[in-house]
Structure 1
Amino acid sequence: MNILYVEDNKINAMVMDKMLSKNNSNVFIAENGSQALKVVKEKNLDLILVDINLGLNQMDGCELLERFKKLDYLENIPVFAVTAYAMPGDEQRFIKIGFDKYFSKPVNFDKLLSAISTIGVS
């Protein structure tokens, strides 16, 4: 499975890469929205994981999702929010915006892997 993880925190990116790689996934890391938009053009992806806060003066994960939704070749690719936003109502807010699933940090990898296992890979 080819997974893009959009995350500006290098440690979080490294942990996610290590965990998903153990599950035989190829993980591509983008530190910001601009890098993510390049990766989606270049790689055949099965899943995109997006942090919401991608740093000062950068597009955030919600803006990035909006751009992804405009790209025809991503229309069948699920996009999961992976975020430190974990207050009551945050999950519903991000699902309503258009994310397919929501995971708060620190990520419960068993739940994430379970959600990933439901994705049909072509």
Structure 2
Amino acid sequence: MNVLYVEDNKINAMVMDKMLSKSNSNVIIAENGSQALKVVKEKTLDLILVDINLGLNQMDGCELLQRFRKLDILNSIPVFAVTAYAMPGDEQRFIDLGFDKYFSKPVNFDKLLAVISAIGVS
């Protein structure tokens, strides 16, 4: 499974890479939205995980999702929000914006892997 993880924090990216690699996933890290848009045009992906806050003066994960959805090739690829936003109502807000699933940080990897398995991404 090819997974794109869009994350500006190198430690978070490293942890996700290590955890998903245990499930035989090939994890591609993009540090910002511009890198992510380049990757989606060059690679075949099965899943995209997007942090919402991608740094100062960068497009955020919500804007990036909208740009992804404009690319026809990505309409069938699940996009999950992976974020530190964890207040009541945040999950529904991100689902309403178009993310397929929502995971608050720190990510429960057992839950993430179970959701990936349940939707048939492998």
TM-score, normalised with respect to structure 2: 0.98
4+ runs of 1 displaced by more than 2 Å?
118-122
Partner Cα distance (2:106, 2:67) in 1? 26
Aligned residues: 122
Gaps of 5+ in 2: none
Partner Cα distance (1:96, 1:75) in 2? 16
Q: Deviations over 1:2-35 (max 9, x none)?
A: 0000000000000000000000000000000000
Give 1:32's aligned residue. 32
Partner Cα distance (1:105, 1:31) in 2? 17
Aligned 1:90-105 pairs, distance under 5 A: 90-105=90-105
Partner Cα distance (1:56, 1:121) in 2? 32
Q: Deviations over 1:39-93 (max 9, x none)?
A: 0011100000000000000000000000001000001000000000000000000
Identity of aligned residues (%): 89
Aligned 1:20-99 pairs, distance under 5 A: 20-99=20-99
